[in-house]
């Protein structure tokens, strides 16, 4: 989020906090080779920028993305999943800058077809990226990154210890973003579900140090001082291991300080996101 790029991620095995209500079992994603599901992501964003005492707010267009998911080979519990974008519709919202929706839609229309490739373990270890060789337009990069983050977050890491309904576990991850260390804490809860899995979750991302901004304009010294994001949601996954519904919200901020012509300044960036997932028949 907000111009930060993750360079390294390290995670510890999930730790069970509460076992929940019996019967207890070790939850797993039961991927079925050949299974197919088309999902629809509806994404909205509001960005804020505060420079000194002036604040501006930008309402970004709503983006609706239809993605056909297909489970490929499953070996040793790890599934290869392809996500092929079928359609993208960009819709202006109240407060959206004139021309913003048109420019983003044109960027997708003129760009190559988007295909995501994921390798996901039965316990939720996820490696997902845009298919090698694709070069999207610069105007669409932020939205594509948002799609990748959403897809990657659908399959939460699962505990090896048995849990029942109401069972809760914690996932701790650390990563480096442009030199700024970030600690990510995710608490997941197994919700009641007749088929597949239903997972409620909350996530907190907190920076634990500062870092210089490497691409700062010439003559300016700028540092990342603090980055924080709080998110929450629920995902449901069917018996084939593919997502069937859910919603996530997040609220993030990034604070930078620096000097320009010898004068100090502070910039605070914010971003609020909502992503809703449904299936397409």
Q: Which residue from 143, 66, 147, 140 is spatially nearest to 107, judged by alpha carbons?
A: 140
Tell me the three state secondary structure of residue 73: strand
pLDDT at site 133: 66
pLDDT at site 6: 41
pLDDT at site 135: 77
pTM score, whole prediction: 0.91
Here the tokens at position 37 are 């599901």
Residues of the chain where predicted confidence (pLDDT) is lower than 50: 1-8
Q: How many CB atoms lie within 10 A of CB 83?
A: 21
* Site of tokens 């210089």: 212
* Site of tokens 């960036």: 269
Distance in angstroms (rounded) separating the CA atoms of residues 235 and 255: 30
pLDDT at site 2: 39
Question: How many Å from the N-terminal Cα to the C-terminal Cα in the chain?
Answer: 32
Determine the distance from the C-alpha atom of residue 250 to the mean position of all C-alpha atoms in its chain, rounded to a whole number. 9
């Amino acid at each position: 989020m907000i111009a930060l790029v993750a360079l390294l991620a390290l995670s510890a095995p999930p730790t069970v906090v509460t076992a929940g209500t019996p019967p207890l079992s070790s939850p797993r994603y039961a991927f079925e080779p050949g299974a197919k599901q088309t999902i629809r992501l509806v994404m909205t964003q509001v960005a804020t920028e505060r420079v000194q005492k002036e604040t501006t707010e930008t309402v970004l267009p709503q983006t609706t993305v239809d993605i056909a998911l297909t489970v490929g080979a499953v070996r040793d519990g790890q599934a290869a999943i392809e996500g092929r974008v079928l359609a993208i519709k960009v819709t202006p919202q109240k407060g959206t800058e004139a021309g913003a929706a048109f420019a983003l839609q044109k960027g997708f229309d003129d760009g190559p077809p988007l295909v995501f490739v994921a390798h996901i373990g039965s316990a939720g270890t996820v490696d997902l990226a845009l298919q090698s060789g694709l070069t999207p337009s610069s105007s669409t990069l932020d939205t594509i990154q948002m799609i990748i983050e959403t897809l990657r977050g659908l399959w939460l890491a699962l505990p090896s210890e048995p849990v029942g309904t109401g069972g809760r576990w914690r996932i701790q991850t650390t990563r480096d973003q442009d030199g700024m260390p970030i600690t990510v804490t995710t608490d997941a809860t197994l919700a009641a579900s007749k088929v597949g899995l239903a997972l409620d979750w909350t996530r907190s991302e907190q920076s634990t140090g500062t870092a210089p901004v490497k691409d700062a304009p010439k003559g300016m010294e700028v540092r990342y001082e603090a980055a924080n994001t709080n998110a929450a949601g629920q995902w449901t996954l069917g018996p084939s291991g593919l997502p069937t519904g859910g919603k996530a919200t997040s609220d993030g901020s990034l604070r930078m300080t620096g000097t320009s012509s010898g004068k100090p300044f502070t910039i605070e960036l914010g971003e609020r996101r909502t992503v809703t997932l449904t299936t397409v028949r």
